[in-house]
Amino acid sequence: MAAVLIFITISVCSIHQIWYSHWGSDPRVFLHAASLLVKGQDIVSVPDRFGLYYVYPPLFAFLFIPLTFLPVEVVIPFWTVASVVLLGWSMAAFYGGMMGRPFFSIPQKTRWIVCFFTVLLTTRFTLYHLQAGQSDIFVLALVVLGLVLLSRNQEFRSGIAIGLSIVIKVVTLPFVFWFLAKRKPKVMAGLVLGCLIGVGLPALVVGVKKDLYYHRQWLRVVMANAPGTGNSSGVGNLSPRAQVDRFFLNVPAFEYKGRSYPLTIAELRPGFVRVIGYLLMLIIALAIIWYAVRFGNANPLVSQWGGFALVFSLIPSFSTWTFRNGEALLWSLALSQAFLPGRRFIILSF
């Protein structure tokens, strides 16, 4: 039964992306950026034929280069299958790491309970994600890999995996605050190396000079104009920093029947609004640090895995871009439910 449902989900979501031509789906954007990268052209300022722009650092476009040799009708199902597999692995690996034992060594009934409630709590967001073909599951799997390695006392490798996730999509940056607060020098060293590897890999195709240009261009075009910087809120963006832009800048807040409408309460100077956005990020960073210090000596389920769940849950608030089918999915991913001895069920989702 489960296999049938998974097959139907993969098929429907893949067909939806292939046939829905209004915006084209994210894999088309990734393929477009990969093609531009190979040609040495600008990857963040040139939209695809649906008018969508690539907004990631160059690494993810680099990783998509092998798929540019395949038809998009093949790439989309492949990416959907890969996302489903990585999502299943992330659920099992996170829970297994939390319990300190391999997932399949856990009683079968417990495994079914964990999987059922995890999927139930996130079904809506998971479907949105798969229909859009987004990258969050891939990023999530990298972070979970890092956390599992950490549970096995492989701190340096753990940092490399999480560092790579940050270079692919900077939304996982809050984990840096966690490991700083926990004083994990090996993890931090791995994070630095992982980031350097992620930044440097595209140079294998375009050379060091062009690679540095791509990263400067990403910082100048994407990050400098992201919601929360006092420039634009982004229609459909649900992040707190985007809400601040909507309330205090004269920018479009939503669209209705082809027209844009503002929600400006009081118009402030863009520089002041930018400061508010940075203060929101600072509050989130301090909340993560407070938890790490406050519960540092608690049971590992609380002091470590509860902390990981907290960081995941705060990522949508820290990110400049949050959509119902993006971070909102994965970072709520009850990525874990803990079925503890005594049949006490604790949901570590926020």
CA distance 26 to 31: 9
Instruction: Count other Cβ atoms within 10 Å, centred on residue 112.
Output: 11
pLDDT given for residue 165 in this prediction: 95
Phi-psi region of 167 (alpha: psi -120 to 50; beta: other; left: phi over 0): alpha
CA distance 51 to 53: 7
Whether 26 contacts 136, CB under 8 Å = no
Please state whether beta strands 259-261 and 337-340 pair in parallel, antiparallel, or not at all (unpaired): unpaired
- Measure the CA–CA gap between 46 and 20, rounded to whole angstroms: 21
Q: What is the pTM of this model?
A: 0.85
Q: Are 42 and 217 in contact (CB under 8 A)?
A: yes
Domain ranges of the chain: 2-227+269-347
Report the pLDDT value the prediction gives residue 234, as an integer from 0 to 100. Answer: 59
At 157 the pLDDT is: 96
Split the chain (350 residues) into runs of 10 and give each run's mean pLDDT: 82 84 81 94 88 91 95 93 92 83 83 78 80 88 93 94 94 93 95 96 94 92 70 63 80 73 81 84 92 88 84 79 48 42 38
Give me the residue label for tokens 């856990």: 106
Q: Is 339 exposed, middle or buried (0-12, 13-18, 19+ CB in 10 A)?
A: buried
- What pLDDT is recorded for position 236? 60
